[in-house]
Amino acid sequence: MRSESSDNQKSIGFIAQEVNALFPELITIIQDTTLGYPDIPDLHMMKYDAVGPIAIKAIQEQQEKVKKLQDQNAALRSRIEVFKKKLASLSTTN
């Protein structure tokens, strides 16, 4: 989410309600309207300090998938080369 504060400073962050659907452990919901947010009965706040470990784990999982796909790709390319050679040898013998 991007927003501009009253002093025109741009900020980037998450929409806590959307994050809550995937990672509820990253969200604190404050339902006390006496804490300075009287117009918001269920203030959702992010625990940004916990985002890093989750993001790193997701990156590690993606890297594992990328590695597997690279290995599969290399194996398939190798098989294609074998088939090309067989096809070429069949073409030259006829």
How large is the greatest C-alpha to C-alpha distance in the chain, in angstroms? 89
Q: What are the residue boundaries of the structural domains of the chain, listed by start?
A: 1-46, 48-94
Section 52-75 average pLDDT: 98
Looking at residue 66, its pLDDT comes to 99
Looking at residue 4, its pLDDT comes to 56
* Residue bearing tokens 């999982």: 61
Has residue 67 got a pLDDT over 70?
Answer: yes
Task: Return the amino acid letter for 53.
Answer: P
Has residue 75 got a pLDDT over 80?
Answer: yes
pLDDT tens-digit series, residues 4-63: 556 778 888 899 999 999 999 999 998 877 777 778 888 899 999 999 999 999 999 999
Task: List the beta strands (DSSP E) in 13-74.
Answer: 27-30, 43-46
3-state SS track over 61-83:
HHHHHHHHHHHHHHHHHHHHHHH
* Residue bearing tokens 């203030």: 43
Looking at residue 12, its pLDDT comes to 86
